[in-house]
Each structure stands twice: as structure tokens, then as C-alpha cells.
Amino acid sequence: MLLEASSALSLVSPQKEALNPLFSSVSSAFPPNPSLRFSSPKNDNGLVVCASKNANNSPLTGVIFAPFEEVKKELDLVPTMPQLSLARHKFTDDCEAAINEQINVEYNVSYVYHAMFAYFDRDNVALKGLAKFFKESSEEEREHAEKLMEYQNKRGGKVKLQSILMPLSEFDHTEKGDALYAMELTLSLEKLTNEKLLNLHKVANKNNDVQLADFVESKYLHEQVEAIKKISEYVAQLRRVGQGHVDEWLDLIISQRDSVFWAANVLFVEFTEGTEPGPLYGDQGYFIRHLPTKSSPLLSCRRLRLRKTNMDSDAHRIL
């Protein structure tokens, strides 16, 4: 680098361009170079060093940043028509279209979850915990869509909302039960959403849009993996419970989050069903076949009592 830059160093005098006697030894050792010019400044205290390649002192590439020269190209690209975005920069049409497609995916999934909320909130279904879960899930998916819309506007794109298909209104299933069927459907929807997000990320990489790729990774992909894991656990627990009052069991797990309280070393969960159950299976009013905990259940008429032993983490509690 130093050898390459040595031929570009010239010592320029504001008065004249005669060779300085101080550098006579240098000139004798090296052949004269027309681009090297040495002179004494006005005050005779030193030499003025100027990095230049030729006689007109134009700067070397990468040595001096000339913003007003380099910005001319971008200045010519600033749109003057009012209908064009001023913020758009390095944002391709493919990325814009892919974001609009993902917005439609998020709204469609939100619509399905909203239909599930309405189903489980019916008076003849009355699984309030599941209804609350799907209502919150619907709101979360809508927030995802709105976040994508905000990003689209931030990058200078145009949001184009597409049509939303009408979802199912009935989610009953005689073989699996309503809760297991709904959770398996939810798991499939979350995996489908994850696939669509990966496709959006692929479009961003294909178009060298690092900012869009980072946005999808940080705001969506990590969260999507967590959602798939949570729903997978619900499905696995429902399958382990088996056929029977499985719907009420999951509804209890979800709905009792706020009504479970600790008293000394005992966990109490209030029930709404009535009579003394049989051993473990509880087919006389309690609707739990077996419990997702290592504790031994002590059942009473209107209250389930679980001892706190071996319940070190939330994963072992029916919360």
C-alpha cells in the first residue's frame, strides 16, 4: 500500500513548482517523476503534502470522500412525482409483493382463530378457556399483519389487501374430540405460517434485501418456532389423556391460569362439576382421566387437591 501510494505523493508550493535542494539526494537516487512535485511553502517551516495522482490534484479513489460528487447519482433518483414514495430505497417489487402475500396469510389465519373463538364460546359448547385462547391467538395474528403493513409503508411499498376466505364455523369431531381436533388444526396452521415466512425470507435473500431478511428473522421466525412448540405440547398432552372428557381437561388447563392459587404446600383448583368421582378416571362428574403431574391426586366433591411435591417447574403444573 505504501509503495503504491508513494508515486502519488507530491509536495506542492503555493508559489512555484521548482525542485527543492533538500531533495536533491532523493532525485539522484530515483528517476524524475512528473507526478512528484516538491516546493517550499511561504513560511519555510515545512512541506505541504498533497495526495494526488496527476497535476490537477484530483483525489485518489477511496482516499478522500467527496459526498457532493457521489451524491449526484442519488440526487437524480429522488422522485418528483407526488404519487411515488420518497423513502423507497433498494426495495424490489418482488419483496413488496411477498410482504403483501404474507399480510394476507396472517389475516386468514387470524380469521380462522376468530371462528374457533366463536365456536368454543357458544352456550352449548362453553369451553371458555379454549375460547379465550383462540381469541388471543386471533388478535396476535392480526397484530402480525399490522406489523407487516407498517414495515411495508416504512420501506416505501404499497399495502394491497387481498380477499379473505370464509373459515369453517363448526369444529366438532366425534372421534378426536373438539379440543384435539382444534389444536391439531392450529398446529397445522402454525406450520403453514412458518413455511410462508420462510418463503418471504427466501425472497428477501434472493433480492439481496438484508433489512427485510433481518426483519423477518427477528420479528417472526423465532416467535413462530416457540408457537409451534407450545401447540405441539398441547396436542401431545391431549393425545395422552385419551378419549373421553379431553375437551374439558384442556379447557381447564388454559382457563384456570388465573384461578389457581397456592396455600402452604398444597395447590387448589376450583371445579364446577358436582359429585364424588371414581378412582383416577373420574367419570362421575370430574372430567380428568389422569393428571399431567407427578403428584398423587386427592379428590373431593368440588375441589381437586394436588400436593406440591415434585412440581419444580411450570411444565409439571396444570397451569
- Which CATH number covers residue 232? 1.20.1260.10
Residue 237 assigned as binding residue: no
**Is 131 within the bounds of a domain?**
yes
Residues 18 and 116 in one domain: no
Considering the chain, what is the average pLDDT of its residues? 72
Kindly state whether residues 184 and 296 are assigned to the same domain.
no
Is the whole model's pTM more than 0.75, yes or no? Answer: no
Find the mean pLDDT for residues 120-139.
94
141 among the known binding-site residues?
A: yes
Q: Are residues 102 and 195 in the same domain?
A: yes
Confidence band, pLDDT 50/70/90 cuts, at residue 13: very low
Number of domains into which the chain is organized:
3
Q: Does pLDDT of 35 surpass 70?
A: no
Give residue-wise pLDDT tens across range 243-283: 555 566 666 666 655 443 322 222 333 333 343 333 333 33
Q: Which range marks the domain in which residue 296 is found?
A: 258-316
Q: Are residues 127 and 59 in the same domain?
A: no
* Range from 14-18, 236-240, 261-265, 307-311 carrying the lowest mean pLDDT: 261-265
Cα–Cα distance measured from residue 172 to residue 181, given in angstroms and rounded to the nearest whole number:
8
- Is 106 annotated as contributing to ligand binding? yes
* Domain contains 249: no
pLDDT at 61: 59
Q: What is the pLDDT of residue 55?
A: 53
Do 232 and 291 lie in one domain? The reply is no
Domain boundary among 197, 215, 241: 241
Are 99 and 145 within one domain?
yes
